[in-house]
Amino acid sequence: NAGVTQTPKFRILKIGQSMTLQCAQDMNHNYMYWYRQDPGMGLKLIYYSVGAGITDKGEVPNGYNVSRSTTEYFPLRLELAAPSQTSVYFCASSPPLRTGYQETQYFGPGTRLLVL
Amino acid sequence: GIQVEQSPPDLILQEGANSTLRCNFSDSVNNLQWFHQNPWGQLINLFYIPSGTKQNGRLSATTVATERYSLLYISSSQTTDSGVYFCAVGYNNNNAGNMLTFGGGTRLMVKP
């Protein structure tokens, strides 16, 4: 299994441009998450999905959109990029909750985004 | 929402020293995880420990859920332990899975 993969690894955007950060997982996990990590800070949840076709906002959703048409893919869309969106973006997934099991989140390697 | 505070924010150790990192959280949780973020940015899960004590080699963790804190112990530190240690908590439910709230991290540097 490749686990959670993210593309691109690094991107520079100009203010006002848009882009899509790609995330894929091959573990058949139903739960998927997008976090951002600002320099020197912890991770904050942007959006999450509990399954194909179902998404919801996290703590910092403004300026982003997501979609989840299949179990495997969970892309994050930035419209009208702003300098405040300069950050490292992590995608994560986790399996269904099962009584008695300890389900951790599996993280991708991150996408480093610089908006100038 | 739930608040997660980690201390100390920064820690410098000499190789071979021991250390204790603390995580305080503001509400009941049934999910607590410790992560290590290496200098290349990769997040590695260390422990899933909503309560009790676990050990893995030189690392161990204890969570006292009733008092809303968790401790991560690093013994005989090595330079490869350098990086940022995050505590993350949540309340597992079918509506959001095991969605996590992260603390601000403890930045550890181990000097040779």
| Residues listed for chain B | 112
What pLDDT does B96 receive? 67
Residue B85 — very low, low, confident or very high, per pLDDT cuts 50/70/90?
A: very high
Share of chain A above pLDDT 70, in %: 96
Q: CA B11 from chain center: how many Å?
A: 14
Residue A92 — very low, low, confident or very high, per pLDDT cuts 50/70/90?
A: very high
CA-nearest residue to B1 within chain A is A59
The residue type found at B85 is Y
| Chain B positions in Cβ-Cβ contact with residue A56 (cut-off 8 Å) | 96
B60 CB-near residues (< 8 Å, 6+ apart): B53, B54, B72, B73, B75
What pLDDT does B90 receive? 86
Share of chain B above pLDDT 90, in %: 82
Which residues are B13's β-sheet partners? B110
CA-nearest residue to B6 within chain A is A42
Q: Is B26 helix (H, G, I), strand (E, B) or coil?
A: coil
The residue type found at A9 is K
A74 CB-near residues (< 8 Å, 6+ apart): A23, A24, A25, A32, A34, A49, A66, A67, A68, A91, A93
CA-nearest residue to B43 within chain A is A107
What are the pLDDT digits (tens) for A48-68? Answer: 999 999 999 999 999 999 999
What pLDDT does A102 receive? 65
What pLDDT does A9 receive? 96
What pLDDT does B58 receive? 97
Which of A33, A90, A104 lies nearest to residue B99, judging by beta carbons?
A: A33
What pLDDT does A107 receive? 93
* Residue A85 Cα distances to A24, A68, A101, angstroms: 22, 22, 36
Flag whether pLDDT at B97 surpasses 80: no
How high does pLDDT run on average in chain B? 93
Find the mean pLDDT for residues B69-92.
94
The residue type found at A72 is E
What pLDDT does A100 receive? 60
Which of B42, B94, B98 lies nearest to residue A105, judging by beta carbons?
A: B98
What are the pLDDT digits (tens) for B21-60? Answer: 999 999 988 889 999 999 889 999 999 999 999 999 999 9
What are the pLDDT digits (tens) for A23-52? Answer: 999 999 989 999 999 988 999 999 999 999
Closest CA of chain B from A82, distance in Å: 23
Find the mean pLDDT for residues B52-79.
97
* Residue B61 Cα distances to A28, A49, B8, B21, B34, angstroms: 30, 30, 16, 9, 8
**E strands of chain A, at which residues?**
4-7, 10-13, 19-25, 31-37, 43-51, 54-57, 64-66, 76-78, 87-94, 106-107, 111-115
Interface of B with A (CB under 8 A): 1, 4, 33, 41-43, 45, 48, 86, 88, 92-105
